[in-house]
Structure 1
Amino acid sequence: MPDVDLLFIVPSRGRPHNIAALHDAWAATTTGVSGLLVAADDDDPALPGYEQVCGERGIELTVGPRLRMVPTLNKVAVEHAPHHFAVGFLGDDHRPRTLGFDAHYLAALRTLGTGWVYGNDLLAGERLPTQWAQTSDIVQVLGAMVPAPVKHLWADNQVYDLGHAVSRIRYLPDVVVEHCHPLAGKADDDARYREVNAADASEADRLVYAHWYEHDMPADIAKLRALIGEAA
């Protein structure tokens, strides 16, 4: 990976065409301060497509066992956080639209010193960070980007909760990173969406999040307050 201040991690499965579209949008808006790293599964039938798309476009590709989206994000983030000022998450269905979106993210993070930033996804808006970037010291202190071990859902809620608990999160309403999701009528409801939004999968992630919120979030907040030099 080139020496960039902000590394966006993109876990993906079954959608190499989405990586091509994401890269088009990112390349049209980046200022050169960020990079993309795609994380694919070694058992994905579409893996050759990822290898082709990433190879042709010079996108870094990491391949490993299928862990599901959030565990994969956490694993890759922990590996790369020491080498970048900040790491971020983009879904393969996000599309940066604002020129210099990554520079805006970095500027906000440098002002915060330690914290999170997210833009306007034209779907959830300020309510939830469906995409975000955070300073790498948070990953190193918590041992994860997303501390509760959900598979896919309720990750954005954790970012929102922690960021507001320590007053170190910033929403940039004029920085658009569009979420091209079926809920917005901007993507087909494919097998991946159906898998993660199935009632049993959704409920399992909700319960994991709820347990973390009640039992483990206070300890994570204390770690963050110690990091930023606040009293617990």
Structure 2
Amino acid sequence: MNNITIAIDGFSSTGKSTLAKQLAKHLGYVYVDSGAMYRAVTYFAMQNKLVSENYLDKEGLIKKLPEIKLHFQFNPDLGFAEMYMNDVNIENEIRTIEVSRLVSKIAEISEVRAKLVEQQQAMGKNKAVVMDGRDIGTVVFPDAELKLFMTASAHTRAKRRHDELIEKGQHVSYEDVLQNVQERDYIDTHRDDSPLVKAHDAIEIDNSTLTKKEQFDLVLDLIYKFYY
């Protein structure tokens, strides 16, 4: 049984992380949430007053990038690894709508992408890794054995994200979440550096009408059929 690299790209709130966690747990692979890394840098920028909805101190953030130390630490109670920044658990802090509104701005900065891509490639150098994000199959692991591209309608994704936030006790309207999803789609697909695109050899999965189990079974079948 050969270990492979699984790269999962796609639009926001398409369930990339959920699928990646399921696959990693089932296969005994390492799971890396690249989106959490960009959210962590965004949270750092917010804490240091370097970004807001109408302001971005790009040069200021670039100068402070060496101060940001990121790592994932497995939480056995949750069954997945949580995001730590400078040895502080920030998993809950990076999942807010406030961070979601600003993360695409931060992800556009080439110096940020270069720093995180280098770390991501190091995490997956021994294969047996599942990584999800926006440019995993095109930039981080262009030679990944399995590349998936996840998509769903904007309204479906907004409803999923809204339900998730409400469940976490955050008070936000569906309309605000939908607007955020649509704005992130535009920024992610139009940025100059590593825009969100489907890799030429990626398998596209529209999960608008799929349950989590149906999606997992579909992908697992692909893995065992072609790689094991």
TM-score when scaled to structure 2? 0.31
Which structure has the higher relative contact order (CA within 8 Å, separation 6+)? 2
